[in-house]
Amino acid sequence: MNPVSRRRFFTTAALAAGASAVLPRFAQAQKAAASVADTAAPAASPAPPPEVTRTVARWVLGSRSENIPAKVREEAVRSVVNWIGVAVGGSRHETVDCALAAISPFSGKAEASLFGRREKLDPLKAAFVNGVSSHVLDFDDTHLKTIIHPAGPVVPALLALAEHQKVSGQDFLHAFILGGEVECRLGNAMYPSHYEMGWHITGTCGVFGAAAAAGKLLGLNEKQMLWALGLAASEAGGLKIQFGTMTKSFHPGRAAENGLLAALLAAKNFTSTEQAFEGKEAYIYAASREHDYNQLTQGLGERFEIALNTYKPFACGIVIHPIIDGMIQFKKEGLKPEEVESIAVRGHPLVLKLTGKKTPQTGLEGKFSVFHSAAVALVRGYAGMKEYTDEVVRDPQVIALRDRVALSIDPSVHEDETFLTVKTRDGRTLTKHVEHAIGSLAKPMTNEDLEFKFRQLADGVLPKDQADRLLKLAWGVESMPDVAELARAGTAA
């Protein structure tokens, strides 16, 4: 053996000898530790989460229309009236044209109507397109606590189903209330964490509402309703980064289609989890950093989230509404755009987070620009769908005034509040404090306001006599023997 080999041999032998001495001692230490662990009190395991999915499913299935308070049903009707108006108004948007061009060749039996359009599609695709139409103008209803648009995913799913099987107006409205309750309570359980993580809460929570509502009309049993909610958990999606693009309206459209699909699959015993909401690997834990399961079940059947629904007077992000309200007030008081030197806006932090686009290039981007919205409200005295077109966003007069708008955020300012300061070229300083914007819970839109909005949206899409008939049917939806008539009444000639 040469010297190098000899050194290697003795080194290896020494290491082996050392290991043989250490290993028995290590094993003895492990044995002693195990013995101590055996005598110690067992560690307390965390309490399992409550069975909120089953509680919600049982409530939906056991709910009876006659037990829903009259005030809640009245607000639900207002929600339906508003939804039909915005679906008709958005029906000719290029976003809807693109969607129809893409999916029409793949539609099944053409039995479901599209509001404001002549085309018919299969129920799933009709639910999708009507959901897109109703959201593309950003003019739909809003549950202010969560910023969910309750009707957008639920109503189109129900109306599409109603053209496949007969559904009374009473059952339709009841199912809508239940679906709205599920989606808004789920939003309550995860907000604001879920929203701050980047999720578009209407798309994510809306699919559960659509699934629960459609499942109610389909007569699912308890296990099937649990499966429908479980399927919805695997379909929930939508990201806030899409705001200002066509994909934002894709979210409630897809939620309507997916929710209906979930209920249809469950009705044919397509299985899923029975714990869609609770537990470490279920939806709520996966989609939020902080959550409260109790929000799903406390007061279930005693208080209704749809009673807290609000309606937009302006076709844009709701956090801009106080600013628009104030600027319209300035215009009514005689202020002219050419007189303005600067406009200072002080608002809630969400104004910057959601509508901070300084130089929007398209009408869709303008809906998320407090700068455009403040300017167009003073220039045109309104902020409806016609104020958020590509042409108006690029209007030199609007751009010139937009560039004089400055925004500061203040956490002490409420979401439906703003402070405005206008400095004029002749040295005047004008101030306005909008404590509650029109359309908020404190200053709700009246039925007359909703009718005015409806007719503005239908103008140019449906003839006046047809729009009037559709509006009358919508107000009387609960007494309709067959709600499919409502869907067919909104189609274009």
Mean pLDDT of the chain: 92
**Residue 288: which of 399, 167, 198, 409 has the closest Cα?**
198
Concatenate the DSSP letters of all residues of 299-317 into one string: TBTTB-GGGGEE--SSSS-
How confident is residue 16, by pLDDT bands cut at 50, 70 and 90? very low
More confident residue, 285 or 21: 285
3-class state of residue 292 by DSSP: coil
Q: Is the pLDDT of residue 374 over 50?
A: yes
> What count of Cα atoms within 13 Å lies in the side-chain half-sphere of residue 461?
29
**Residue 53: which of 299, 284, 291 has the closest Cα?**
284
What is the H or E stretch that residue 420 is in?
strand 418-424
Cα dihedral across residues 159, 164, 170, 175: positive or negative: negative
Number of Cβ within a 10 Å radius of residue 397: 14
| Length reported for the chain | 493
Enumerate the domain spans of the chain. Answer: 1-45, 52-312+473-489, 318-434
Number of Cβ within a 10 Å radius of residue 347: 25
Q: State pLDDT tens for residues 234-266.
A: 999 999 999 999 999 999 999 999 999 999 999
CA distance 25 to 240: 59
3-class state of residue 491 by DSSP: coil
The predicted model scores a pTM of 0.86
Report CA-CA distances (Å) from 467 to 252, 488, 491.
24, 12, 10
CA distance 327 to 115: 33
Q: State pLDDT tens for residues 400-424.
A: 999 999 999 999 999 889 999 999 9
> What is the percentage of the chain residues whose pLDDT exceeds 70?
90
**Among 3.60.110.10, 2.60.40.1180, 3.30.1330.120, 3.40.50.300, what is the CATH number of 318-434?**
3.30.1330.120
Q: Could you give phi then psi for residue 23, rounded to 5 degrees?
A: -60, -45
List the structure tokens of 417.
């509040």
- The whole-number average pLDDT for the span 336-357 is 96
Q: State pLDDT tens for residues 272-298.
A: 999 999 988 999 999 999 999 999 999
Number of Cβ within a 10 Å radius of residue 138: 25
Q: Is the pLDDT of residue 67 over 80?
A: yes
The pLDDT value recorded for residue 87 is: 98
CA distance 160 to 261: 11
Q: State pLDDT tens for residues 80-95.
A: 999 999 999 999 999 9
**Residue 418: which of 382, 359, 373 has the closest Cα?**
373
Q: State pLDDT tens for residues 151-195.
A: 999 999 999 999 999 999 999 999 999 999 999 999 999 999 999
CA distance 330 to 377: 9
Q: Provide CB contacts within 8 A for 415, sequence distance 6+.
A: 144, 318, 319, 348, 350
Burial tier of 339 (Cβ tally within 10 Å: 0-12, 13-18, 19+): middle
Q: Is the pLDDT of residue 312 over 70?
A: yes
Q: Could you give phi then psi for residue 199, rounded to 5 degrees?
A: -80, 140
Domain at 52-312+473-489, CATH class: mainly alpha
The pLDDT value recorded for residue 493 is: 86
How confident is residue 7, by pLDDT bands cut at 50, 70 and 90? very low
H helices present in 40-142, as ranges: 52-62, 70-90, 94-103, 123-135
Which residues face 121 on adjacent strands?
112
Q: Is the pLDDT of residue 449 over 80?
A: yes
The pLDDT value recorded for residue 49 is: 76
The pLDDT value recorded for residue 46 is: 56
C-beta separation of 392 from 384 below 8 A: no
CA distance 134 to 252: 9
Q: Could you give phi then psi for residue 466, rounded to 5 degrees?
A: -70, -40
Q: Is the pLDDT of residue 5 over 70?
A: no
> What is the percentage of the chain residues whose pLDDT exceeds 90?
88
3-class state of residue 103 by DSSP: helix
C-beta separation of 262 from 231 below 8 A: yes
**Residue 321: which of 260, 360, 374 has the closest Cα?**
374
Buried b or exposed e, range 100-133, using 16+ CB within 10 angstroms: beebeeebeeeebbbbbbebbbbbbbbbbbbbbb
CA distance 75 to 60: 19
How confident is residue 44, by pLDDT bands cut at 50, 70 and 90? low
The pLDDT value recorded for residue 40 is: 44
Q: Is the pLDDT of residue 43 over 60?
A: no
In the DSSP assignment, the letter for residue 320 is: G
CA distance 252 to 127: 10
C-beta separation of 345 from 351 below 8 A: yes
CA distance 340 to 311: 31
C-beta separation of 156 from 127 below 8 A: yes
Q: State pLDDT tens for residues 205-239.
A: 999 999 999 999 999 999 999 999 999 999 999 99
How confident is residue 47, by pLDDT bands cut at 50, 70 and 90? low
Report CA-CA distances (Å) from 139 to 79, 87, 250.
12, 9, 15
Determine the distance from the C-alpha atom of residue 263 to the mean position of all C-alpha atoms in its chain, rounded to a whole number: 19
